[in-house]
Amino acid sequence: MTIKTRSAALLSATVVAGTLFGHAAIAQDKEFTIAVSIPAATHGWTGGVVYHAQEAEKQIEAAFPSIDVIVSTASSATAQVSSLEDLSATNELDALVILPFTSEELTGPVEQVASNGTFITVVDRGLSDPSIQDLYVAGDNIAVGANTAKWLVDKLGGKGEIVVLRGIPTVIDDERIQGFKDVIDQSDIEILDMQYANWNQDEAFTLMQDYLARYPNIDAVWANDDDMLLGVIEAVDQAGRGDIKFALGGNGMKQVIEMVQAGDERTPISTPYPPSMIASAMYMTAAQFAGQAPMRGSFKLDAPLITPENADQFYFPNSPF
């Protein structure tokens, strides 16, 4: 199953919800355990992952008393491996929902869990061997970059000078950059520089200071991620640079969504890569057991532009991200 469009995604979500609630009574006479292994709240986005996982845990257990959801966080790849060993040693797992810290270090341990017949759902960062997983849920990183670039080309009239901040060297970052460059390369916009700031606000602040010192004119900045965008904005404001018309990020951080809602002239849009995708993965996994609905394949969330007109749809006031 591959679902690529927003409409299809919404349809699937509706089907999942309908299936879950429609078959709740059937699940009452069975017991299922779903373990959820995720990174700890080491930065803004993973803070959102933890929040949405804990909210989904409460909602699923309330709707289906026969399902036990265990959420486990880990502060490193090594800690996540240990956590998986503990979870599988102390529980008979029907399913594992995992957002791996790193692909290589977690592939073997997840394969060991799968060898017991456990249903495997992988979220966001994939495993080195995707054949291990039954279900994969992630955002559309190509669209994150491409949709931002299309908007920027339009607003700059197809020409100008920009700088780009990359994240951590990963497939996710590569895809975002590919989507962005494929569009920019069709215009007369020049990318003056493009370096890694590791999705870190402090590193983005330092890198942007360097860009500002070396380039007397910058029309726009794409930070690739909202955590980095905040560092960029702080550097620009401290330098008092008025030439930068647009400073854009991505991921849909609550603080940035508030800028969009307020009609901020420099940051009028964002693109979603929601940490709430962990909740989507948990609901779909629950449906595999409680809903008698096969949930195998890949589920890709779309990345439409977040604008003042639709920002409320992407704003979660109680989320830390």
pLDDT, tens digit (0-9, with 9 covering 90-100), for 211-252: 999 999 999 999 988 999 999 999 999 999 999 999 999 988
- Residue 112 in domain: yes
**pLDDT of the residue at 146:** 97
Tokens of 26: 């059937």
Residue 192: alpha-carbon gap to chain centroid: 27
Domains held by the chain: number: 2
CB of 116 within 8 A of CB of 85? no
Q: Same domain for 103 and 208?
A: no
How far are the Cα atoms of 39, 119, 202, 260 from residue 103, in angstroms, in the given order? 13, 18, 26, 34
Average pLDDT over residues 249-268: 94
Residue 16 lies in a domain: no
Q: What is the pLDDT of residue 136?
A: 95
- pLDDT (0 to 100) of residue 3: 33
Q: Is residue 26 part of a domain?
A: no
Question: Apex CA 278: angle with CA 275 and CA 280, to 5°?
Answer: 110
54 lies in the same domain as 115 = yes
Q: Give phi and psi for 270, each to the nearest 5.
A: -150, 180
Neighbours of 88 (CB within 10 A): 17
pLDDT at 92: 93
Q: What are phi and psi of 10, to 5 degrees?
A: -65, -40
* In a shared domain, residues 188 and 94: no
Q: Residue 18 above 70 pLDDT?
A: no
In a domain? residue 281: yes
Domain annotation covers residue 86: yes
Give me the pLDDT at residue 30, please.
52
| Digit-coded pLDDT (tens) for 48-84 | 899 999 999 999 999 988 899 999 999 999 999 999 9
CATH of the domain at 127: 3.40.50.2300
Q: pLDDT tens across 41-52, in order?
A: 877 788 889 999
Residue 320: the pLDDT is: 78
Give dist(CA 230, CA 14) in Å, integer. Answer: 35
For the chain, what percent of residues have pLDDT higher than 70? Answer: 91
Same domain, 129 and 170: no
- Partner residues linked to 248 by β-bridges: 222
Q: Quick one: pLDDT at residue 196?
A: 95
Share the mean pLDDT of the chain: 88
Tell me: do 47 and 93 sit in the same domain. yes
Instruction: Establish if 229 belongs to a structural domain.
Output: yes
Q: What is the pLDDT of residue 20?
A: 45
Q: Are residues 112 and 161 both part of a single domain?
A: no
- Asked, for residue 270, whether it belongs to a domain, the answer is no
Tens digits of residue pLDDT in 265-318: 999 999 988 888 999 999 999 998 887 788 899 999 888 999 999 999 988 888
pLDDT surpassing 80 at residue 169: no
Burial of 138 (0-12, 13-18, 19+ CB in 10 A): buried
**What tokens does 33 get?**
């355990």
Residue 15 has pLDDT above 80, yes or no: no
The predicted-structure confidence for 114-134, as pLDDT tens digits, reads as follows: 999 999 999 988 888 999 999
The backbone torsions φ and ψ at residue 294, rounded to the nearest 5 degrees and listed phi first, read -55, 130
Q: How many CB atoms lie within 10 A of CB 139?
A: 25
Query: In 3-state terms, what secondary structure has residue 209?
Result: helix
Same domain membership, residue 172 and residue 115:
no
- Given a cut of 70, whether residue 11 has pLDDT beyond it is no
Regarding predicted confidence, which is higher, 167 or 164? 164
Same domain, 112 and 149: no
pLDDT bucket at 262, cuts 50 / 70 / 90: very high
Q: Which domain holds residue 77?
A: 32-133+275-302
Q: Are 165 and 218 in contact (CB under 8 A)?
A: no
- Taking CA atoms, 17 is separated from 2, 11, 14, 270, in Å, by 18, 10, 5, 28
